[in-house]
Amino acid sequence: MLAKLRLLSLIVIALTLPLSIKASVVRKDATLISLPVAKRVNMTGTAKLLEIDQARARALRDRAEGKYDPSSKATVPATNVVVTYVTTIGVGQPPQEFSLLIDTGSSNTWIGASLANPYRPADSKAAHDTGNKVFVAYGSGAFSGEEYNDTVTLDVASAGIVIENQSIGDAFFSKGFDGYDGILGIGPTDLTCGTLIPATSECIPTVTDNAFAQGLISNKEVGIAYAPTTSLSDPNGELTFGGINEKRFSGPLRFVSITYGKDTPILNSTAGIVDTGTTLVLLATDALNVYKAATNATSDPTTGLLKIAPDQYSNLQSLFFHIGDETYEFTANAQIWPRALNTAIGGEPDAVYLIVNDLGALGGSGLDFINGMTFLERFYHVYDSENNKAGFATTDHTYDTTN
């Protein structure tokens, strides 16, 4: 058995290089704003967790290879998102509250997925219909709707940040987002380009872009802190706009440059992304075969996940991710699905399922792995879109044995 599987790689935060925007104003009063985040496990859909993650991976690869067609809805499966992280924002004057999925792998912010909580632009003093339609496909869902400009409030309880003229979509069609109001897209601005209808190259400034441009935050940084949990619904995270929360990590925070992995070979062209919209850690098929051989794992037909016998768990070794000049240990406990949640994914109560699985493509494609939420529950992550950098640090939960 291989003692360790080493992923020699540089993390790619996005599939396109974000534009760098230099500020011309001095931000003396700007501050950090932190939003509480809750994890939810929702298995009302018919698709397995792995199938949903792989569908999202295909959509991300299509974007990287220039195959994304914003006018096409043919490849969108009718499934629900399985594991999500959710936060609440306000839209309008006065603010109407919406519970949104947090997504670093997309950048459009939109609302209206829930019929029980429709967006009411007529009730907002700041709402303005742009006259544009918008469509975004996510692999595991899609939405289309009308694009509005309105006020967005982060941290509604204290009105911590009030962003004016934020462009948001109001969905008149959405698939795969039952139980949620929409998405808070905090990825690179480039991912919004081409999503407006009729087809245009126009890009849509993100919530982070506008908060920075309006002097509400000092830096175009978003800090992401999650923690392992064994509950179906648990407030176990935090999203910080404008910088980092030093209380949320323990080790040194190291930054690496963001790059486009397909065009810039890095350590045998092995590059991938960090994505809050993906649950598992997905490896290129050839790398996964090495992992399966090292762990003696087999595919479980019921859950779609890899499975090992309980007595094999004591032999499960750590994965070591080399990111820039640093090495981050992904422990054996981090590699298994929380056993308390086995039945939520259709599994056996006492079985040991692994959260590492198949990306659905061979290595060398430029997107060779995706580190999803199960990875982010063990490490603090900062996305700095102003300086095109990604930051990582260990936390108090890196070596948790909760699973």
pLDDT tens, position by position, 126-140: 999 999 999 988 766
Q: What is the pLDDT of residues 279-338, one digit of tens each?
A: 899 988 888 888 888 899 999 998 899 999 999 999 898 888 878 778 888 899 999 999
Regarding whether 70 and 199 lie in a shared domain, the answer is: yes
| Structural domain count, the chain | 2
Q: Token digits for 197?
A: 């209808």
Q: What residue numbers bound the domain in which 171 lies?
A: 33-225
Q: Specify whether 166 is located in the same domain as 296.
A: no
Residue 352 and residue 261 share a domain: yes
Residues 151 and 267 in one domain: no
Report if residue 19 sits inside a domain. Answer: no
Instruction: State pTM to two decimals.
Output: 0.76
State mean pLDDT over 97-105: 86
Which domain CATH number covers 284? 2.40.70.10
Residue 357: band (very low, low, confident or very high) from pLDDT cuts 50, 70, 90: very high
Mean pLDDT for 100-116 is 88
Give a yes or no: residue 363 inside a domain.
Answer: yes
Say if residue 251 is in the same domain as residue 385.
Answer: yes
Q: Is the dihedral of CA 194, 195, 198, 204 positive or negative?
A: negative
Does residue 266 carry a pLDDT above 70? no
Residues 211 and 360 in one domain: no
Average pLDDT, whole number, for the chain?
77
pLDDT at position 44 is: 46
For 8-22, the pLDDT digits (tens) are 333 333 222 222 222
Q: Which residues contact 112 (CB under 8 A, 6 or more apart)?
A: 118, 119, 145, 169, 170, 171, 172, 174, 181, 182
Per-residue pLDDT band at 2 (split at 50, 70, 90):
very low
Residues 348, 202: one domain?
A: no
pLDDT given for residue 82 in this prediction:
55
Residue 108 domain-assigned? yes
Domain presence at residue 234: no
* DSSP letters for 294-339: HHT-EE-TTTSSEEE-GGGGGGPPPEEEEETTEEEEE-TGGGB--G
With a cut of 70, say whether residue 109 has pLDDT above it: yes
Are 100 and 200 part of one and the same domain?
yes
Q: Which residues are catalytic?
A: 103, 275
Of the candidates 272, 250, 243, the one whose C-alpha atom is nearest the C-alpha of residue 259 is 272
CA–CA separation, 231 and 141 (whole Å): 25
Q: What are phi and psi for residue 281, nearest 5 degrees?
A: -100, 115
Q: Are residues 209 and 268 in the same domain?
A: no
20: in domain: no
Give residue 50's pLDDT: 82
Residue 166 lies inside a defined structural domain of this protein: yes
Task: Phi first, then psi: give them for residue 53, nearest 5 degrees.
Answer: -65, -40
Are residues 258 and 201 both part of a single domain? no
CA 332 to CA 312: how far, in whole Å?
11
Residue 39 has a pLDDT of 64
Q: Is residue 324 part of a domain?
A: yes
